[in-house]
Structure 1
Amino acid sequence: MSRSWVSVDSSVTVRARSDGGTRTNTRRSPASRRRRAPGRSGRPGLPTRRGGRGAGAARLLADRRHELRGDVVLMFQPGEEMHDGAALMIAEGVLDAAGRRADAAYAIHAFAATVPGGHVVSRRGAMLAAADGFEVVVERRGGHGSAPQHALDPVPVACEIVMALQTMTTRRFDVFDPVVVTVGSLQAGDAPNVIPEDARLVASVRSWSTEARARFRELAGQLARGIAQAHGMTAHVSYLDGYPVTHTSADETDFAGTVVADVLGEDTFSLLPQPFSASEDFSRVLQSVPGTFLGLGATPAGLDPASAPFNHSAHAAYDDAVLPLGAAIPTELAIRRLATLPS
């Protein structure tokens, strides 16, 4: 009898986390270590993922193994938040865990706000933003606050760069292909009467196309160095490539929408008119395998999805009643998608 593969890390404890992701306690082991579960076919299948919902889907799929016409790879992935856990698992072979490359991939993520409880959203094409890091260090010559003419003060220059970045994103980029820059850190000196030798700013950069992403990288460096040079200073610019755009397959998105409507009801699925500005390392998977990303509304009853605290907020709350839905959806996606594959 042939067997299917369920991808788990035997040395990672996976449990639901408040932001809808996974929390892991890891020991020394490859992230894509596998364990076998009985199945009916040797064909590879469909990676799905996400903590408590993934574990629930694994149980449901095991109970319904007689319905599987191929293999399902469950992806319990560590290090989503800027640690690129998906890239590590892909490098270790998770997409080929069943013997060949998977045919489709689905992810499901709980939202504490924005989406009504029990409702599911997705989008064809750009679903989530690319997220990168941008750092500028302006330096030259410090001095005393009583004699600024004998120094070259990097602080106002760094502030000018901050403001110029905002102007650049609204004047050099198409309003329908935008870039969002948030300078979250600006540091310089530690005494009120001393002009520091350098000032450092760190920003996050979000974009929704490969073209805008590359263009920002080019223009932002030119802008920072040009402003610093105009003031007789030097700007050292570094760029941290983060996650790419989460770009879904139109066909897989439509398929998932049909399955959700069948399982939860006709009015429970909708396509987003605009992408979200959050980012996801599941984008790595979708660069290699066609698939889609689903947002499961977990806004608690009595809260307005438009104003409830969102994921990662210290005040975010989740309705645990949607957990069974989060297990049922990937289960049905796997069973039904495998049924469409040729024998």
Structure 2
Amino acid sequence: MTTSPTHPEAAETRSDGELAAEAREMLPELVALRRRLHADPELGLDTPRTQRRVLEALDGLGLEITTGAAATSVVAVLRGALPGPTVLLRGDMDGLPLDEDTGLDFAAENGAMHACGHDLHTAGLVGAARLLAARRDELAGDVLFMFQPGEEGAGGAQVMIDEGLLDTTGSRPEAAYALHVAPGPRGVVATRPGAAMAGSSSLTITVRGRGGHGSQPHRAQDPVPTAAEIVQALQTMVARRFDAFEPVVLSVTQLSTDAGVVNIIPDTATLQATVRTTSEAAVEQLREELPRLAEGIASAHGMSAEVDFEVLYPPTINDAARTAECLDVLRETLGAERVVSMDRAAMGSEDFAFVLQQVPGTFFMLLAGPEDPQASGEVNHSPRVIFDDSVLAEAAAALATLAHARLAAGASDSAVSGDVSATTG
């Protein structure tokens, strides 16, 4: 059988079983990398030691590598043997400002922690790069590896997009995939079409009254009980103004005043909240109704309120067609019994959402709970959370197989289009 750029049958020679088997063979190397990363976490957009370890792990694979200017990102391109589309694979690299309390031999001791599993994401993406680089001759198209700092609140994905990430290969990706580890039965994968993760917004409301002596509230305009009334009204608003099947979660997490001592009624009281939404419609409704609610309550008490509502991350929306393909590929690769559909979106947030706003793709969860039942009750962002890094074989195989399968499908689509054009031309 001969191959050509028009009929790249070579892209169809993938064996899911072979990729998974090779991923298991490289597991010790991936575990070692993950544990080096775990012992030395870095925060935000500035992760130079992590970047260096990624570059060392990719050395010798024949990738086109660039590093970021606004962040310590790594972008690596694997060029296939034949022309074709681009597929993007993402792994985030930053940790959290937590003192680790796991007791692991490789626990971090620098005041930061990989409490959300980004060390596994990075090592898994390195594994996928190695698997695919070994199959360069089978690829009809390019794979774009996105090693991203600054996922935990710094919007690193958008920073990389602004630096030209999506134009790196010369053609914008036609698919994008990312995974995230979470507690649960080891090796199980879960995702869904549509909203997979909530969007995240911040809310700040400042109530302005008139301060005075704590013993004479009638001579002041006390903003504290007014702020407390607004807190209660916010909970009622969420419960009564939004459909329970398109949830909004609003948690007031901070209350403060400008009073210096306990016997002063302050001039101002400020509350801050995190808000999670699963649709753009909910965000727009909040933009409209939050100021009206806060200002109305403050006005009723002779005061004023200032409302600042800022969208941080949009909802993570999985493309329906790409997600259907993703589920099929993962069932074939990992076994149908280990791939499940999520009933609803998770209310955490993820900045891979910025990529999925521009590229159809899928974000999926890889469960990585520890075998020790006493350690299984902790969740992401806990200083005691432990992930079983034996799932790195599944992580690498899943990402590599998704890219391989999509490039093969894209090549087949191009071949059919070419045949139709030749027939009708």
The TM-score, its normalising length taken from structure 1, stands at: 0.89
1:104 to 164, 175, 188: 175
Quote the residue 2:19 is aligned against: none
Counterpart in 2 of 1:194?
264
Cα offset, 1:28, TM superposition: 7.1
After superposition, the Cα gap between the structure-2 partners of 1:166 and 1:17, relative to the gap in structure 1 and judged at 3 Å, is: farther
Q: Structure 1: how far apart are the matches of 2:42 and 2:396?
A: 14
Kept in 2: contact 1:44–1:99 (CA 8 A): no
Query: SS at 1:242's partner residue?
Result: strand
What's 2:220 paired with? 151
- Looking at structure 1, the residues matched to 38 and 287 of structure 2 have their Cα atoms a distance apart, in angstroms, of 34
Q: How does 1:29-68 map to 2 (within 5 A)?
A: 29=69, 31=71, 34=75, 37=78, 39-50=80-91, 51-68=122-139
Is structure 2 residue 391 aligned with structure 1 residue 322? yes
Aligned residue among 191, 200, 207 for 1:122 = 191
Distance 2:206 2:47 in 1: 36
Asked if structure 1 preserves the Cα contact closer than 8 Å seen for 2:75 and 2:165, the reply is no
Aligned pairs for 1:1-343 within 5 A: 16=37, 25-26=47-48, 29=69, 31=71, 34=75, 37=78, 39-50=80-91, 51-111=122-182, 113=183, 115-188=184-257, 189-303=259-373, 308-341=377-410, 342-343=414-415
Change in 2 beyond 3 A, CA 1:219/1:91: same
- The runs of 5 or more residues in structure 1 that have no matched partner are 3-12
Number of matched pairs: 328
Other structure's SS at 2:330 match: helix
Question: Does the CA contact (< 8 Å) of 1:102 and 1:289 recur in 2?
Answer: yes
Matching residue's letter, 1:138: V
CA contact (8 A) 2:77 2:145 kept: no
Q: Aligned partner of 2:167: which letter?
A: D
User: Given the superposition, is the C-alpha separation of residues 36 and 214 from structure 1 closer, same or farther in structure 2, using an over 3 Å criterion?
Assistant: closer
Q: Is the 8 A contact 1:22 1:77 kept in 2?
A: no
Question: What SS is found at the alignment partner of 1:191?
Answer: coil
Partner of 1:7: none
- Partner deviation per Cα, 1:177-233 (whole Å, 9 max, x = no partner): 221100010012342211011111000111111111110121111111111111111
TM-score (norm 2): 0.73
1:9-40 Cα shifts (integer Å, max 9, x gaps): xxxx997559x999862497255665565531
Q: Note the alpha carbon deviations across 1:236-268, whole angstroms, 9 max, x for none.
A: 111111111111011111111111111111201
User: What amino acid is aligned across from residue 116 of structure 1 in structure 2?
Assistant: P
The alignment yields a C-alpha RMSD, in angstroms, of 2.4
Unaligned runs of 5+ in 2: 6-32, 49-66, 92-121, 416-425
Looking at secondary structure, tell me which structure has more helix per residue. Answer: 2
- Whole-angstrom CA distance in 2 between matches of 1:158 and 1:170: 19
State the Cα deviation string for residues 127-168 of structure 1 (Å, max 9, x = none): 110110010011121000111111111111111100100011
Q: Which amino acid in the other structure matches residue 43 of structure 1?
A: G
> Percent sequence identity over matched residues?
43
Q: Tell me the distance in 1 between the aligned counterparts of 2:77 and 2:245.
A: 47
Distance 2:387 2:284 in 1: 37
Moved over 6 A (4+): 20-23
Q: CA deviation at 1:326?
A: 0.7
Q: Offset of 1:325 from its aligned partner?
A: 1.0
